[in-house]
């Protein structure tokens, strides 16, 4: 299957979710992300998250900050066609980019959105390669896919520039790419 075909297939699945189903999935996803973050040894590291786009399944950034207050939380900004991460100096709103950026940071851990993932760690984004370009330049970052379980597919089409993730967190649990096993629940 080609990338555009898979994007369309996943978009149709997301569009079929009722608002109640979407809310339940996001709540469960947030719970699993919090559990993962609380298990981290370095509770003062910089963690990058993302801001929910229309129809996207995503953890609640306000609840993440409340439950994991020791992390420095940063969100994507676009600067000269490249993605960077910054603290917020205002309210968090939906959309791909932080509206009121503050200090720029290099995160040690990134919560990564995507259209689809597979259990080998391949990711299909929205097609503009912002995350792939950023991750290619970062060698010492933990990459955690955060997604709905229906977005985990058998195989994601891969090109040379595509970057892999280290783990996948869904509303059902957490999957380790390197160990090829569930670490919590099932994905």
Averaged pLDDT of the chain: 90
Task: Determine the Cα–Cα distance for residues 140 and 138; give it in Å rounded to an integer.
Answer: 6
pLDDT at 152: 96
Task: Determine the Cα–Cα distance for residues 61 and 63; give it in Å rounded to an integer.
Answer: 5
pTM above 0.85, yes or no: yes
Reply yes or no on whether the pLDDT at 96 is more than 80. no
Q: How far is CA 78 from CA 82, 95, 116, 123, 180, in A?
A: 6, 12, 23, 20, 34
Ramachandran region, residue 134 (left: φ > 0; alpha: ψ -120 to 50; beta: rest): alpha
Element (H, E) at 118: strand 116-118
Confidence band (pLDDT; 50, 70, 90) for 128?
A: confident
Nearest to 63 by CA among 77, 73, 53: 73
Query: What CATH number belongs to 3-185?
Result: 3.40.50.10420
Domain locations along the chain: 3-185
Confidence band (pLDDT; 50, 70, 90) for 43?
A: confident
């Amino acid at each position: 299957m080609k990338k555009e075909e898979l994007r369309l297939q996943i978009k149709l699945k997301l569009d079929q979710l009722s608002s109640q189903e979407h809310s339940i999935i996001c709540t469960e996803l947030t719970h699993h992300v919090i559990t993962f973050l609380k298990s981290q040894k370095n509770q003062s590291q910089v963690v990058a998250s993302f801001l929910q786009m229309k129809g996207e399944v995503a953890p609640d950034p306000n609840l993440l900050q409340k439950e994991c207050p020791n992390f420095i939380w940063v969100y994507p900004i676009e600067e000269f066609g490249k993605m960077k991460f910054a603290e917020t100096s205002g309210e968090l709103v939906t959309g791909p980019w932080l509206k009121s950026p503050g200090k720029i940071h290099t995160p040690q851990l990134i919560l990564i959105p995507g259209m689809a993932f597979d259990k080998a760690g391949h990711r299909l984004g929205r097609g503009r390669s912002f995350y792939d370009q950023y991750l290619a330049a970062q060698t010492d970052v933990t990459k955690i896919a955060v997604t709905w379980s229906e977005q985990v597919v058998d195989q994601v089409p891969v090109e040379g520039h595509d970057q892999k993730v280290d783990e996948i967190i869904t509303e059902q649990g957490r999957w380790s790419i390197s160990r090829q096993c569930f670490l919590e629940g099932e994905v």
